[in-house]
Copies of this chain bind each other. A is one copy, B any other.
């Protein structure tokens, strides 16, 4: 077995940006900031730009530089002014861009530099006095930046190892689609444990509700699997987005890597495409029934779409189970403008009768009402009346075709589902590359 140190040094060589990349990112960032500040002055806008995020903290992965530039307005700037002037200023320096909106509008621009293209976020924010007096959700970022820049130097490569490790596990990033570990969270974990390996050694023994409070000032309590108190805001859990799955995935991988260290943990898995015939063979071997609900994905960002898809998945699962069918597993994905919810079933057809449970025989009033409403024979089981009635749906496909709109699907999905949806069996599903890799992952990447 290769030594741990040898593996890690070798991985670092691959993921640490080279001098040329580093120089290019630095030069591009500085030129955009200078341009922004110059324009602000000439346009009479009271604002200045600063560099934040992984490029500012030297923790980005080679080839993955995303430049974040915040445009700071005085805290007493009226909100509409910040919005108008901030976007105006950002657009004035960008030739190719799109306007985006998280909790807050910003510009995502594309810059070419030294033959490479870089994505640059230009985000207006308020220069508030401290991170607990926010005027907008993004105002905290400059404080994060300052906190990390002061303390991290010397540990940047440890952060890179952690980010790459999580990326290969599919749990890097706090977006709703992934519910993993954000870049800032990675930095804090390294600040706490001082090295990637020390973090893994601790993570291997984490318990649900693990609490990390570097500044010892936490005022947060919640049922999250991982709680990392924000050093700049005692009431905030930086790991709030980490799902139970992501939490467990890291614990499991930490143990595996420590037990059998290998370079492969840092190499992105290239999912073999799953061919149509392989898909059908897998289904035949499993003997389960696959059913796919497909509709047009509503035009909202992933962070809004995915929570709604997960809620819809749970709601449809309950619909299926309320009708006595048995779901084995389910999952959701988005592929080329379509949202797909897949359900794998152990029981998808049922006899046409079912028991309808009535009140306890001893509750006379309820008993009499029940008997007036139903036809004999009245069976008695466990001291309750039972009648046999016709089941509304004897197969899951017709249930979904007819009752999907009765599910609680959330605002955006309800609208698109009202407009139309399809209920597909596997042979009706076209296996695109996106669906192929989704299915490969669903079946356990085996």
Q: How far is the CB of A288 from chain B (nearest CB, A)?
A: 4
A444-B379, A446-B376 given as contacts; is B288 within 8 A of A351 (CB)?
Answer: yes
Nearest to A259 among chain B residues (CB) is B368
Contact with B along A340-368 (1 / 0, CB 8 A): 00000011001111110000111010011
CA distance A244 to B361 in the complex (A): 10
Contact with B along A18-45 (1 / 0, CB 8 A): 0000000000000000000000000000
CA distance A394 to B379 in the complex (A): 31
Nearest to A380 among chain B residues (CB) is B248
19 additional contacts (CB under 8 A) given A248-B362, A346-B354:
A205-B364, A207-B362, A208-B360, A208-B383, A244-B382, A245-B380, A248-B380, A252-B367, A252-B380, A255-B368, A286-B352, A287-B350, A287-B352, A324-B326, A326-B347, A328-B353, A376-B444, A379-B444, A388-B444
Q: How far is the CB of A382 from chain B (nearest CB, A)?
A: 7
- A: residues with CB less than 8 A from B are 204-208, 225, 244-245, 247-249, 251-252, 255, 285-289, 324, 326, 328, 346-347, 350-355, 360-362, 364, 367-368, 376-380, 382-383, 388, 394, 443-446
Integer count of this chain's copies in the complex: 2
Contact A361 B444, beta carbon cutoff 8 Å: no
CA distance A206 to B362 in the complex (A): 6
CA distance A252 to B383 in the complex (A): 11
Contacts of A361 in B (CB 8 A): 248, 251-252
Q: How far is the CB of A319 from chain B (nearest CB, A)?
A: 18
CA distance A411 to B292 in the complex (A): 51
Q: Most chain-B Cβ atoms within 10 A of its Cβ — which of A248, A350, A355?
A: A248
Q: How far is the CB of A380 from chain B (nearest CB, A)?
A: 5
CA distance A255 to B367 in the complex (A): 10
A346-B351, A350-B347, A367-B255 given as contacts; is B394 within 8 A of A287 (CB)?
Answer: yes
Contact partner, A383, options B244, B353, B376, B446, Cβ 8 Å: B244
CA distance A272 to B235 in the complex (A): 75
CA distance A379 to B352 in the complex (A): 35
Nearest to A247 among chain B residues (CB) is B383
CA distance A247 to B362 in the complex (A): 10
Q: Most chain-B Cβ atoms within 10 A of its Cβ — which of A207, A287, A362, A368?
A: A362
